[in-house]
Amino acid sequence: MPSLILGSRSLAAWSGRTLVIGVTGSDPVTAVASTELPKTTAKHLDQVLPVLEVGTKVGATATLPAVPGLKADKVVLVGLGDTTTDEGGYPTDALRRAAGAAVRAAGKGSVAISLPHTDDSDLAAIAEGAVSGDYTFTAHKSAPGETQDREITVFSSLGRESAPKDVLDTAATVARNVAWARDLVNTAPNLLYPQSFTEQVQEVAKASSGKLTVKVLDDKALVEGGFGGIVGVGQGSSRPPRIVTLSYAPRSKKVPHVALVGKGITFDTGGVCIKPSAGMTTMKSDMAGAAAVAATVVAAAELELPVAVTGYLCLAENMPGGNAQRPGDVVTMRNGTTVEIIDTDAEGRMVLADGMALAAESDPDQILDVATLTGACVVALGPKIFGVMGNDDELREAITEAADRADEESWPLPLPADLRSGLDSAVADIAHKGDRWGGALTAGLFLQEFAKDADGESIPWAHLDIAGPSFNEGGPWGHIPKGGTGVAVGTLLEHLANLV
Ligand code: BES
Ligand code: MN
Ligand code: ZN
């Protein structure tokens, strides 16, 4: 991980490798930084920018060596776009993307970032974006090369009263946990399986000096506890399932309690309803929901947020082994509901439903589940936007608003009561799969049945289907790397921080 340092001297005096400043506007394109640039620098840039035809699209970069008036070896100019806010600044998503793209363009060595900002959330976006853009995954390379543990200096124009150092420390905590979620997703599925995922969580909790507690339900405990959904999904694999409960509670007991439930399929072959190989290539990422939940709980504890958070990581491998589940099987879930299995590839909702039923037993104020649940959601919203469903309009809106603040893209989807009859089963209480049409919504409708307390009363619940944005199959863009993205951690932390 890079370290984030608050710039102390003037940016002109910063003598490291790469200094990042912004560019915006057209005719002429102008350079903008956290503070005014030295006169000689501004004059030089006025001369060269038109000649270079530097682009100002968000995240576009151009590199200049040895710029007069600056001590840095080189300058990366990064586009901030042309949208300005009411305060005359730039949208946080533009700052976040630009910082990430610039750090990636900077290559090796120390980096300093001087981008305009008007408040704490701007500065946080720049700092988080910078660390996020610096992310690489080299764990499986035999020769990873020199470590990228560099210093990233961020220049702030904010007064001391807004405590820019604290803003950077918080940003570093968020970014470190996002990177952990990405690492978990990127880790090869022969190495990350329910038990090894569990061990990582136990280690992180152990290092938290008592802030985090972990409880593990192993395969035997899951059978004894009546978790028929996750047991059924996991039984085709030689590597048995787990439900890991990871909790954080602040000292004060009078705080809201949020349950986070994460889909943690460490590999999804589809089971006996096996996927075609093209549909399986990215399925090591089918535990991205559980990774996001784990990272969020750890970050919430490190930031000492004034909310109690319990994460339920529903970990299983969906394999077509000799003992695998069949279509037609009927299983009994943790809450007693019997479910007819239609398609063993609709496994996510089965592990989540048991996790939600377990969460409901502790009477949380809200349940949020995070899951790479349906291809249908990717068809509906594309690869960068996650869908948000739920049984409570206010909570669903709170999630899309939190996503906005975190610069993660989301969109509400309905849970039409009319589609519920698609889940009717001739032999069990409910089937786990309905018609093909509206597949993201029927998955949501199935989960909704488990957002209930012991008396059958609804618990406020929202469902985040992150199948699209959890794994970037294309090239890096802005602050988003190739592979695991860590999506939803930012949204969940924003939501939790906003509860009280
Ligand atoms: N893990 C997949 C969903 C998925 C698809 C995630 C593409 C990321 C990218 C899930 O378990 C699945 O297989 N869903 C099926 C559901 C169907 C069988 C009802 C799907 O989307 O096709
Ligand atoms: Mn599946
Ligand atoms: Zn799946």
Block mean pLDDT (10 aa), the chain, length 500: 92 97 94 96 95 93 96 98 92 98 96 97 98 97 79 93 94 98 98 99 97 98 99 98 98 95 99 98 99 99 98 99 98 98 98 99 98 98 98 98 98 98 98 95 98 97 99 98 99 97
Beta bridge partners of 62: 77
Buried residues in 134-154 as b, exposed as e (16+ CB within 10 A): bbbbeeeeeeeeeeeebebbb
Q: What integer pLDDT is reported at residue 223 of this predicted model?
A: 99
CATH number, domain containing residue 234 = 3.40.630.10
Q: Is 211 a catalytic residue?
A: no
Q: Which of 96, 104, 349, 452 is catalytic?
A: 349
How many Å lie between the centroid of ligand 1 and the Cα of residue 421? Answer: 21
- Of 374, 377, 384, the residue with max ligand 1 atoms within 8 A of its CB, to mutate for a pocket test, comes to 374
Other Cβ atoms closer than 10 A to 189: 17
Contact predicate 277/328, CB 8 Å = no
Q: Is 472 in the pocket of ligand 1 (CB under 6 A)?
A: no
Q: Is 467 in the pocket of ligand 1 (CB under 6 A)?
A: yes
Q: Please state the pTM of the whole predicted model.
A: 0.98
Q: Say whether both 351 and 486 belong to one domain.
A: yes
Q: Say whether both 139 and 277 belong to one domain.
A: no
Dist. CA 348–CA 229, nearest whole Å: 9
The protein residue with its alpha carbon nearest to ligand 1, atom 19, reads 346
Tell me if 316 is assigned to some domain: yes
Provide CB contacts within 8 A for 443, sequence distance 6+.
346, 348, 349, 373, 374, 376, 465
- Of 343, 373, 385, the residue with max ligand 1 atoms within 8 A of its CB, to mutate for a pocket test, comes to 373
The gap between the terminal CA atoms of the chain, to the nearest Å, is 31
How many Å lie between the centroid of ligand 1 and the Cα of residue 439? Answer: 9
How many Å lie between the centroid of ligand 2 and the Cα of residue 238? Answer: 18
Tell me if 39 is assigned to some domain: yes
DSSP 102-135: HHHHH-SS-EEEE---SSHHHHHHHHHHHHHHT-
Number of domains in the chain: 2
Q: Is 348 in the pocket of ligand 1 (CB under 6 A)?
A: yes
How many Å lie between the centroid of ligand 1 and the Cα of residue 338? Answer: 22
Closest atom of ligand 1 relative to the 376 alpha carbon: 21
The burial class, CB within 10 Å (0-12 / 13-18 / 19+), for 454 is exposed
The protein residue with its alpha carbon nearest to ligand 1, atom 5, reads 375
Provide CB contacts within 8 A for 30, sequence distance 6+.
23, 24, 46, 49
Dist. CA 102–CA 133, nearest whole Å: 8
Dist. CA 139–CA 131, nearest whole Å: 18
Q: Which ligand sits closest to the CA of 443?
A: 1
Tell me if 170 is assigned to some domain: no
CATH number, domain containing residue 86 = 3.40.220.10
Dist. CA 41–CA 8, nearest whole Å: 20
Closest atom of ligand 1 relative to the 372 alpha carbon: 6
Amino acid, res. 267: F
Contact predicate 410/403, CB 8 Å = yes
The protein residue with its alpha carbon nearest to ligand 1, atom 8, reads 467
Q: Is 347 in the pocket of ligand 1 (CB under 6 A)?
A: yes
How many Å lie between the centroid of ligand 1 and the Cα of residue 415? Answer: 18
Q: Say whether both 115 and 223 belong to one domain.
A: no
Q: Say whether both 340 and 379 belong to one domain.
A: yes
Q: Which ligand sits closest to the CA of 263?
A: 3
Q: Which of 71, 74, 176, 275 is catalytic?
A: 275
Dist. CA 92–CA 80, nearest whole Å: 10
Q: Say whether both 10 and 38 belong to one domain.
A: yes
Q: Say whether both 291 and 400 belong to one domain.
A: yes
Tell me if 442 is assigned to some domain: yes
Contact predicate 478/398, CB 8 Å = no
Q: Is 275 a catalytic residue?
A: yes
User: Tokens representing 355?
Assistant: 């996790």
Tell me if 166 is assigned to some domain: no
Q: Give, as one character, the DSSP assignment of residue 484.
A: E
How many Å lie between the centroid of ligand 1 and the Cα of residue 446? Answer: 15
| Angle value at C-alpha 491, between 485 and 494, nearest 5 degrees | 135
Dist. CA 24–CA 29, nearest whole Å: 6
User: E strands within 301-448?
Assistant: 308-318, 330-332, 338-340, 366-371, 386-390, 410-412, 430-431
Q: Is 346 in the pocket of ligand 1 (CB under 6 A)?
A: yes
Q: What integer pLDDT is reported at residue 147 of this predicted model?
A: 63
Q: What integer pLDDT is reported at residue 146 of this predicted model?
A: 65
Q: Say whether both 262 and 372 belong to one domain.
A: yes
Dist. CA 132–CA 174, nearest whole Å: 10
Q: Say whether both 145 and 244 belong to one domain.
A: no
Dist. CA 352–CA 289, nearest whole Å: 10
DSSP 187-206: S-TTT--HHHHHHHHHHHHH
Full domain range(s) for residue 211:
176-497
The candidate with the shortest Cα–Cα distance to 74, out of 85, 63, 83, is: 63
How many Å lie between the centroid of ligand 2 and the Cα of residue 235? Answer: 15
Q: Say whether both 180 and 152 belong to one domain.
A: no
Tell me if 467 is assigned to some domain: yes
Q: Say whether both 120 and 197 belong to one domain.
A: no
Dist. CA 490–CA 383, nearest whole Å: 18
Closest atom of ligand 1 relative to the 348 alpha carbon: 11
Q: Say whether both 93 and 212 belong to one domain.
A: no
Q: Which ligand sits closest to the CA of 316?
A: 3
Closest atom of ligand 1 relative to the 285 alpha carbon: 8
Tell me if 169 is assigned to some domain: no
Tell me if 470 is assigned to some domain: yes
Contact predicate 158/131, CB 8 Å = no
Give the environment of ion ligand 3: residues with CB less than 5 A.
Answer: 265, 268, 286, 348
Other Cβ atoms closer than 10 A to 161: 6
* Helix%, strand%, coil% for the chain, nearest 5: 35, 20, 45
Q: Say whether both 132 and 182 belong to one domain.
A: no
